[in-house]
Amino acid sequence: MGIDPGHNGGNFTNSAIINKIIWNGRADESCDTTGTATAGGYTEAQFNFSVAAYLRADLIAAGAHVVMTRDSNGGVGPCVTTRAQILNDAHANVAIDIHADGGPATGRGFTVLEPVADAANDKVIASSKAFGVDVRDAMLAYTTMPPSTYYGASGVVERNDLAGLNLTTVPKILVECGNMPNATDARMLTSPAFQQQVARAFTAAIVAFLTGRPIARG
Ligand code: ZN
């Protein structure tokens, strides 16, 4: 199982490293970014890592072998290309990139980002889309975060401009778990209880994807 908690806490102070240009499979992209934050200053990097830590614990308790792309929230990077490579090299049977969005402050909700075929990822498009639907359904079953009101359709959108999706050779989606600039979403995203709900939703989605059984209710 692969978990990629987006960004990193040290990215804020290392722009020379994270602004380095990499090839994302279709176009140039920066190595990484700082990610967004709530109006109160709670960083997306922290949110992503907190959910990842809960998810890792849940998956290990369920008997899974887990590979993460970073082990703390105090480092820099790695580049998005390296994150993809780590999970490819691990031959993860499924992987998830954890993020939260920096959308318009009036907008709410989560979005599942799915890959678009580009040769490198051709073999995992159908499986990634199936997993994406499982994640969307599990978010609805396990949390009270609504599908995005400003992005995608019914909580899902395709993206062809992200290294993590363009370069993946394992089934993978990226989740924007909520919209950090929105006050209602921010209250949820900063709550450990919500972060644990999201981890349980992802675990349920992973189990459903790997077993072919419907999402277990939260
Ligand atoms: Zn992000």
The Å distance, Cα 85 to ligand 1 centre, comes to: 18
Cα 218 to Cα 216: distance, rounded to the nearest angstrom: 7
Task: Please state which CATH class domain 2-211 belongs to.
Answer: alpha beta
pTM over 0.85: yes
Active-site residue (options: 29, 44, 114, 176): 176
176 is catalytic: yes
- DSSP-based helix, strand, coil % in the chain, nearest 5: 40, 20, 40
Reading the chain (218 residues) residue by residue, the pLDDT tens digits are 999 999 999 999 999 999 999 999 999 999 999 999 999 999 999 999 999 999 999 999 999 999 999 999 999 999 999 999 999 999 999 999 999 999 999 999 999 999 999 999 999 999 999 999 999 999 999 999 999 999 999 999 999 999 999 999 999 999 999 999 999 999 999 999 999 999 999 999 999 999 999 987 77
The Å distance, Cα 175 to ligand 1 centre, comes to: 9
The Å distance, Cα 116 to ligand 1 centre, comes to: 19
Q: Give the burial class of 199: count Cβ atoms within 10 A of its Cβ; 0-12 exposed, 13-18 middle, 19 or more buried.
A: buried
Q: Which residues contact 13 (CB under 8 A, 6 or more apart)?
A: none
The Å distance, Cα 206 to ligand 1 centre, comes to: 21
Cα 115 to Cα 52: distance, rounded to the nearest angstrom: 21
